[in-house]
Structure 1
Amino acid sequence: MTPQVVIAEEDVIASVADALQYISYFHPPDFIAHLSRAYERERSPAAKDAIGQILLNSRMAALGHRPICQDTGLVVAFVKVGMEVRFDTARPLAALIDEAVRRAYLHADNPLRASMVGDPLFDRRNTGDNGPAVVHVELVPGRTVEITVAAKGGGSENKARFVNLNPAASVVDWVLKTVPELGAGWCPPGMIGLGIGGSAEKAMLLAKEALLAPIDMSDLLARGPSSKEEELRIELYEKINALGIGAQGLGGLTTVVDVKIARFPCHAASKPVALIPQCAANRHAHIVLDGSGPVRLDPPDLALWPQIVLEQAGVAARKVDLDTLTRADVAGWQPGEKLLLSGHLLTGRDAAHQRMVELLRAGQDLPVSLKDRVLYYVGPVQAVREEAVGPAGPTTATRMDGYVEEILAATGLLAMIGKGERGPAAVEAIARHKAASLIAVGGAAYLVSKAIKSARVLAFPDLGMEAIHEFVVEDMPVTVAVDAGGRSVHVTGPAQWRRSA
């Protein structure tokens, strides 16, 4: 009788922790290859510049071993346990994964941002180590343990959608209706994963697993489809890109680099369809444990990364001095215009906005004056070594929409920086107060951090990464999303590049 394969608990913990560190700064090469092709063929100057920033950021993160994105994600682990394997541990498998998450996210040389809150409903207190992970375990034949780990950012995770279509209804029609409704907060260009069949929970799981498959759309287009599923993937890829949404929603030729589909049998009366977008921070890795010890992943060949010079994108930039900025200056900005910000910049996101609004409603002064200031929606990664701040990319702007009117009316704030579009009420408030909304490129957090020369906490230190900071920035690249007249590039850009497929 063949003896069981024994997997030590430390082998699981060390291997998963190493994989989580690895995916924090290494993009999968297949994603870089397809994004590079998108950069070469992009004709929209704003979208080309955004893709260029993502590619440059990716190479910088790989070289510096620092996170691609400040949102280092919630951890999802798909574990396939061979039936001839025994774990040498008294702890549950999920506890080993959680220990790996703790070790990876608290790593001294490359600390990752803890984003998980323990209670989702009431106090929402941060767990401090990004645990627990979401773990899916499957028992399969074999003598190995296969673990695929992914780090899923909140901006794209929040855009997951589910529908139970009538059996005869068109999946294509639903997808083409749904994708524009996602806005740009999921940080395109990326991927769309579709889970079709099963039940509601099975379809969502299929969609997430589909995103882990190798990106092969360029090969598929070159050789042509060999099945109905491949025909459907190509049709969706072409029609989604024809919507003109483009990189960061600025309007352009590439919104997705691939569309993935996973299927499962379903009830005759149903057609469950789940859609999960994957942002430009496409982070996942696969490891196989066979009892011989922990697994360490080999770094990719950085020669596969293109050498990007952003000026080649052809986007002229206006230099802005934040310390002398006036409302008259803001009135001169145009939708889609690129700005380079220098000077003192405030930060604040969800929790800070909630506290500021509570103070204003109570008739109290804010701890920091926002008059004639610009506010960046960001929760940075902890700094290490000589860094002023860790990777510091934007969070989704629409989450702050409910606060915009009160903040602008009471404080004299001039502009806000986030990612993605603003909702109608926020756009109306911006126009009413002659302010502006700007975007930094989601997926370029390490690149953005290099423009931050110093950082200090001014208020609400107990909020951790959500505290109000003051950054001193030099030539921080942003794009005007909504101008002082209420014109939005997330409306005008896609309209310009929309085409029939």
Structure 2
Amino acid sequence: MTVIRQQDFIQSVADALQYISYYHPKDFVQAVTAAYEREESPAARDAMAQILINSRMCAEGRRPICQDTGIVTVLLKIGMDVRWDATMGVEEMVNEGVRQAYGDADNILRASVLADPAGSRRNTGDNTPAVIHTRVVPGETVAVELAAKGGGSEAKTKFVMLNPSDSIVDWVLKTVPTMGAGWCPPGILGIGIGGTAEKAMVMAKEACMESIDIHELQARGPANRVEELRLEIFDKVNQLGIGAQGLGGLTTVLDVKIHDYPTHAANLPVAMIPNCAATRHAHFVLDGSGPAELTPPSLDDWPKITREAGENVRRVNLDTVTREEVASWTPGETLLLSGTMLTGRDAAHKRMADLFARGEALPEGVDLNNRFIYYVGPVDPVRDEVVGPAGPTTATRMDKFTDLMLEKTGLLGMIGKAERGPEAIAAIRRHNAVYLMAVGGAAYLVSKAIRKSRVVAFEDLGMEAIHEFVVEDMPVTVAVDAAGESVHETGPREWRARIGGIPVVEEA
């Protein structure tokens, strides 16, 4: 009979979470490399280059791939013949492993989990608790699958209760364009079909944790209906032309994974969960012999890609840039930013809006007139770092604040990831401002452009505090110009026409 020791289990969870924070799965690196090599869209190709360069840097430096180090999901299969040498419950042990991993002084991971979600939304400080699903199965081992799921991709989760005669493919093709680029494509779509609502959602999450093997399926051909669906959805989603980071291109998904389960005759539940370009998951089995051993990948698994500023790249001094200069920027243009910017995301925007509502001034040090604000919640620095990984968060969450901020502060522009909605685009056009996009999934690479960092306001918000960054040659793309033209509309439209793909079906 297998005996699993408490400390072995805790250490295995902690080690695995550290491991996936800086090592992409090999299959993901290979899939992005193949997509990069065949990509014809310059903007999408550059985005994938940044993702791959960032990935290698993280593997070398053992620092997080993305500043959003995720909420932890754990799938446990506990053998019926296992005995525990433990004083803690299984969920307690999982959470202790999470606590140790996220507080590791050599590689601090960002705490993003908030308690009292409908009330005070207080940060728990250690990224606990994890979301845990447990099954008891025959055997004498404990199998563990875990993932660190970023909020941007998790926010794009979709569920529908279709009629049995409805087309799953049609629903997917109608739904994926509504997800925008906040899930940081290229990535994986996990789909759960059948069961009940909650079963479909869990299956979709499980599917996200599987290895990328669509190329093998393409080579041998489908053996059942699920495999037929995988191939059809994979081809048709890529024909939408959404592309890397939503910029337009040949590759939107790297694979489509599907789990199914018997369901009621009157129902067809379908869940879809995307995994982003910072896909993080690991699988290990404990057999009583000690903690799990995860073998580091070889750096030879990463392509040797360099990224240099080309002739068409414009360098911008943020300390002297004018509204007239900003008006000359065009969608899809690459900029290298140097100078001073402020940061701020959801909680900071809410606080500033509340100050405006009360007729109060912004805190000292928060002067946004003719400045840029970067939507980011960075990881804490370690050793000699100025700041930890500091990639962009999804900009659409700030859309409802955009007009207010532009009107009240004289803000010149914003930096984030993914598209802006109609409300924000209208405000950008009205105020002759601009929205720039940094690559989601390249957080460590972005952090290397940050030369100085200090907190200037709302320190109690932790990673959501307002920082002042001094940057040098920070790469961004013009996503919405001062006239309100969005690359997230023009790019996919152009590439959908080039690919000859299917039209986007608008939701009713």
Give the TM bin, normalised by the shorter chain. over 0.9
Q: Which residue of 1 aligns with 2:466?
A: 468
CA distance in 2, matches of 1:302, 1:95: 35
* 2:317 corresponds to which of 321, 324, 347: 321
Does residue 290 of structure 2 align to residue 289 of structure 1? no
Alpha-carbon deviation of 1:345? 1.1
Q: Which residue of 1 aligns with 2:423?
A: 425
Does residue 452 of structure 2 align to residue 454 of structure 1? yes
Amino acid at match of 2:455: V
CA distance in 2, matches of 1:351, 1:66: 25
Alpha-carbon deviation of 1:419? 0.5
1:48-447 superposed matches below 5 A:
48-311=45-308, 316-367=312-363, 368-447=366-445
CA distance in 1, matches of 2:171, 2:302: 35
CA distance in 2, matches of 1:194, 1:149: 18
Contact 1:68–1:446 (CA under 8 A) maintained in structure 2: yes
Contact 1:34–1:218 (CA under 8 A) maintained in structure 2: no
3-state SS of 1:310 partner: coil
Amino acid at match of 1:448: V
CA distance in 2, matches of 1:269, 1:227: 23
Alpha-carbon deviation of 1:98? 0.3
Contact 1:164–1:272 (CA under 8 A) maintained in structure 2: yes
Structure 2 gap ranges (5+): 503-508
3-state SS of 1:369 partner: coil
CA distance in 1, matches of 2:257, 2:385: 38
CA distance in 1, matches of 2:147, 2:96: 16
Does residue 493 of structure 2 align to residue 492 of structure 1? no
Alpha-carbon deviation of 1:457? 0.6
Indicate how the Cα distance of structure 1 residues 224 and 315 shifts in structure 2: closer, same or farther if over 3 A, else same: farther
What are the Cα deviations for residues 181-202 of structure 1, in whole angstroms up to 9, with x where unaligned? Answer: 0000000000101000000000
Alpha-carbon deviation of 1:90? 2.6
Alpha-carbon deviation of 1:311? 3.5
Q: Which residue of 2 aligns with 1:477?
A: 475
CA distance in 1, matches of 2:247, 2:475: 15
Amino acid at match of 1:500: G
3-state SS of 1:311 partner: coil
What are the Cα deviations for residues 84-111 of structure 1, in whole angstroms up to 9, with x where unaligned? Answer: 1011113210000000000000000000
Alpha-carbon deviation of 1:225? 2.2
CA distance in 1, matches of 2:196, 2:181: 28
CA distance in 2, matches of 1:273, 1:223: 26
CA distance in 1, matches of 2:216, 2:30: 12
Contact 1:380–1:392 (CA under 8 A) maintained in structure 2: yes
Alpha-carbon deviation of 1:315? 7.9
CA distance in 2, matches of 1:496, 1:443: 24
CA distance in 2, matches of 1:285, 1:365: 48
CA distance in 2, matches of 1:458, 1:424: 31
Q: Which residue of 1 aligns with 2:505?
A: none
Using the aligned pairs only, state the percent identity. 64
CA distance in 2, matches of 1:308, 1:227: 39
Amino acid at match of 1:221: Q
Contact 1:388–1:455 (CA under 8 A) maintained in structure 2: yes
3-state SS of 2:390 partner: coil
3-state SS of 2:114 partner: coil
CA distance in 2, matches of 1:229, 1:199: 18
Structure 1 gap ranges (5+): none
What are the Cα deviations for residues 453-496 of structure 1, in whole angstroms up to 9, with x where unaligned? Answer: 11001111111111110011000000111000000000000000
CA distance in 1, matches of 2:307, 2:343: 26
Runs of 4+ in 1 over 6 A off after TM superposition: none
Aligned residues: 497
3-state SS of 1:186 partner: coil
CA distance in 2, matches of 1:500, 1:89: 56
TM-score (norm 2): 0.97
